[in-house]
Chains A and B, each alone.
Chain A
Amino acid sequence: MITPMRSIPYYSSHINESDNSSESESGVCYSPFYSRILDPPRGIPKLSDIQTIHTSGGDKPQMRSTNMGPRKKRKYSPRVNWVLPKKIKKSFSFRSPSKDSPPNGEEYNNETTTLSKNIDENLETLKHILHYEINSDVIVRTFDIPTVPKVKAAILFIDGLVAGDLINLAILQPLMLIANLDTSETKDHLNQVKRRLLPGNQVVEQDNYRAAIEDILSGVTCLLIEGYDIALTIDTRSWEHRSIDKPSSEMVVRGPQEAFNETLKSNLALIRRRMQTPDLIIEILKVGTLSRTDCALLYIEGLTNPQLVREAKRRITRTESDHIQDTGILEQFIEDKPYVLAPQTLSTERPDRMAAFLAEGYVGIMLDGSPFGLILPATFWSLLQSAEDYFLRWPFGAFLRIIRVLALVLAILLPAIYLALTNYHPEMIPTDLLLSITASRERVPFPTIVEVLIMELSIELIREAGIRIPGVIGSTLGIVGALILGQAAVAASIVSPILVVIVAITALGAFAVPNFNMAFAIRIYRFIYIILAAVLGFYGVAIGVFTQLMVYVNLNSFGVPYMSPVAPYTKSSGDALFRYPLWKLEIRPFFLKPQQIKRQPLISRRWSKHENKNNKNDKLKDNDEKITNKMKP
């Protein structure tokens, strides 16, 4: 039995929200508006039971019910019920989520409510969905295309998300003033409009409300023409946004000075500019039932492990939440073990870093509105790396990495070691130093643990306040606070000068860790170690280190062991704890199981002595084959 597509709104007159409890298989979440029209009451076929079929007469998809008896006569006429009664219109809300109407994504994903040929009906429905009466930024402009006879048309867009000039010049002006459509040969106005009158560079035909609404909400202008059940969506997106700026949290001295901003389009362009390969795939997914945020999944086709891509996609699409507006939020939904302090994804604001990771076989995630991208999976070692490591010559890069490991150890353990030494093992401190420490602590009335906690908490307060206080005061507060507070605390004999030095070195160590999330984790770990040292001295610290190592080794990020490639050992170029010369980094990380393991030939500096010697090309070729064979899984 053929069910005309316009029958869908009719179902909404029999809404039973409590029945709508089916879970989305694909995991994509949709608005209650969509889910409501999918669960009709008993006797009326569900939208999910309607198959899209292509009739031989045309290419327009039609729908047919699969669970209705073939000879049963329908009791309702969709055409009659097309105009929604007021009562039903109220429940036909796009924006009022109901707790009883869980997302019903898959059905809607497969089947959509198609447009009508009647422009008034289409306008009415779209206006209703967009709450035109009360939404001040929804603009509807009706006009006639000057043909003989005139054709009624309308555009819909969201004010503020579009370029007004572009609409005037590239849509309204051609359609209203210079539309000399030749109607004698063909009556296909739509095609003529699309081909001859819309100079916009992106014009897409949409045949259903969902697609049209999503386009409108993303800043696209929707053009409706009388007599056509197709909406033309013309890209007119333009809004105020921050320009591309310098990185604020991943600064480098040498290397690119561009950072992501809040506009997905420009962020993707920044990456695309650095990866000029057709194999760079950017898949757009939607996250958030209300926010419907564009989420871009980036990977290199033919290089990145497809299982990793699938897993990333699966986690993103299976995330059901109403409002996801930043990668920091998305990260918390897709990470493996939320209760482990260690960050399990790598966030970056640098397009060059994102591109470099993509080239290694990682997967990238960008979110519209977020100036930070996510790189999956993260390993412990990657959190200690900086983009600058590669821009500097290898000895400097390797040196910086060693310094960072030292910084990490100091940031986590230094106050705990100081505490353990002074409280439990003073014999280990050289006599002169011990006398100096004792003399400086002579007037301090507190035990060392209290002293340490006072200073650590003060530093945390200064740091947090420095971030929250706006403008110039914020940046100066850190220095002023640290100096004055430290000096005053020492003068007041609340803390000893040696502890100020210890805490300052610890803070510097934490700042030297290049990953913001990792630095955060370190701050919390430090307090745990301080408590362990206070209770059990070096023994407690050692037990803590052992447990932390265990947790890290046991941790996975998107199926990849967190401590890879060290434990478990996997083949990799020397680019984890140290950094070897770039020409020695011949293979990609094996723990990612990339489809192409070889990054460069065994001898990449081919201009060197090998080039000038005879028969060396064969040797180079042999070497290339050797490395390829060696690295086969």
Chain B
Amino acid sequence: MATEKKIGIREAIAATIYFLSTKLLISFPQHMAEMGETAAWIVIIISFITATVGFLVVMALIRRYPTMNIVEASEEAGGSVLGIIASIGYFSFFFATTVLLIREFSETVSTALLPRTPLSVIMGVFIISTFSAVHMGLGAIAGTALIGMPLITVTLILLNFLLLPQSNFDVIFPLFGPGLRTLISRGISHSGIAGEILFLGVIANNLDGRHKMQSAGLISLAVAGFFMVMSTLTYCAVFPYPLSLHITYPGYESSTLIYMGRFLQRIEVAFVFLWVISACIHIALSGYTAVAIVQNIFKLPSYRPLLPAFAVLAFTFALAPSDIPQAMHVDFMIVKTYGGLVVFVMPLILLLISRLRSFAKADRR
């Protein structure tokens, strides 16, 4: 990590926003509809608030070790055993995210763009391009995210705006869907949907202006949360509740509904074109985070020699789910549900241990 180029706060914010919000383009809204029914967007708000608290916990842990990132801080706080267990947990979260994203985006591309191309070819191209990006380093990925920031912003806003004629906001009622208590419990348990915010903790040492990390995280959560709430709300308004549970590619299906007169219709391909770029940035970021965690665990001077092995592993694991519903199920029902425990609860435990240790040390003195 020490050899990596430092990135600025703007790049970090852009990268984190991408990291948090690109999942909108796959089956995320549908799963939120499963969680919150007509109040899917409220689940996201609750999840993001929980994730914000979790992020503050991560920050509290990192702040105790001002020269360390989350992996090193975990090891320092929890000792070698607990620290490494935590780090493996972080790695598993990001690696699973990488693998599942590759699969889900490849399936989306296969459905929307290249129905006759073998899935393995699409996945292979994804992996080659994104792991090449990881090889170039964090600076390249974050810089691309910064350049692409207007792209995703305009795309999402345009998409939601163009879907307004098809939206019926009456269908988002009853406002609290299955009930406020259910919403809160489901929102908290699904805080893993914003678990990628831990990315900032992993790259803490690569940030030019580490002291601004907390504000960077909060801004990213706010912006990404806004995007996700806005898009999910539109989704719920376009596809009424029972229907919203059965849309496999919500982003793509939504965009097919856009009608701008007789001449401009079926412009979903243009959106998919932009989504592929967003997906590449997302996969590159999660792949980078995963290998950077391994680099830190084993204290390697560089992560780059690991990349070919990781690429092969990612390709293999991405092919493991039998179909796209299974991949989605693993992503949202396992990774995003239990991911919160790993990325937020684990740092909380380590923080408590660290505090107890320092209290004990102070008592001994």
Contact = CB atoms under 8 A, between A and B. Distances in A.
A225 B274 CA distance: 78
A546 B280 contact: yes
Contacts of A536: 114, 117, 125
B269 A543 contact: no
Nearest to B141: A550
Interface stretch (B6-14, B89-97, B294-302): B6-14
Given A546-B276, A553-B139, A567 B114 contact: no
Given A542-B276, A554-B136, A430 B265 contact: yes
A538 B270 CA distance: 9
A428 B273 contact: no
Contacts of B262: 430
Contacts of A547: 129, 132-133
A82 interface: no
A425 B255 CA distance: 15
Given A546-B281, A547-B129, A563 B143 contact: yes
B125 A568 contact: no
Contacts of B268: 428
A537 B117 CA distance: 11
B84 interface: no
Given A546-B129, A549-B147, A539 B122 contact: yes
A566 interface: yes
A239 interface: no
Contact of B7 (A427, A430, A568): A568
A37 interface: no
Interface string A550-575: 11011000000101001111000000
A337 B330 CA distance: 43
Nearest to A429: B266
A546 B278 CA distance: 9
Given A430-B263, A554-B137, A554-B139, A567 B144 contact: yes
Nearest to A428: B269
Interface residues of B, number: 42
A566 B10 CA distance: 10
B119 interface: no
Interface in A404-431: 424-425, 427-428, 430
B113 A424 contact: yes
B46 interface: no
A547 B144 CA distance: 10
A550 B277 contact: no
Looking at chain A's contact residues, the main secondary structure is helix
B140 A424 contact: no
Nearest to B9: A569
B11 A569 contact: yes
Nearest to B264: A430
A484 interface: no
A566 B149 CA distance: 11
A547 B280 CA distance: 9
A204 B125 CA distance: 66
A125 to B, nearest CB: 55
A539 B125 contact: yes
A541 interface: yes
Q: Which of A567, A568, A569 has the most CB of B within 10 A?
A: A567
A568 B265 CA distance: 37
B272 interface: yes
A428 B270 contact: yes
A541 B273 contact: yes
A337 to B, nearest CB: 12
A441 B198 CA distance: 54
A98 B112 CA distance: 64
Contacts of A439: none
Interface string B1-28: 0000001101100000000000000000
B219 to A, nearest CB: 14
B320 interface: no
A539 B109 contact: yes
A561 B139 CA distance: 10
Given A425-B113, A567-B146, A538 B269 contact: yes
B113 A539 contact: yes
A601 to B, nearest CB: 27
13 contacts: A427-B266, A428-B268, A430-B263, A430-B265, A539-B113, A539-B122, A542-B276, A543-B126, A549-B144, A549-B148, A553-B144, A568-B8, A569-B8
Given A428-B270, A543-B276, 4 more contacts: A542-B280, A543-B280, A546-B133, A554-B143
Interface of B: 7-8, 10-11, 109, 113-114, 117, 122, 125-126, 129, 132-133, 136-137, 139-144, 146-148, 262-270, 272-274, 276-277, 280-281, 284
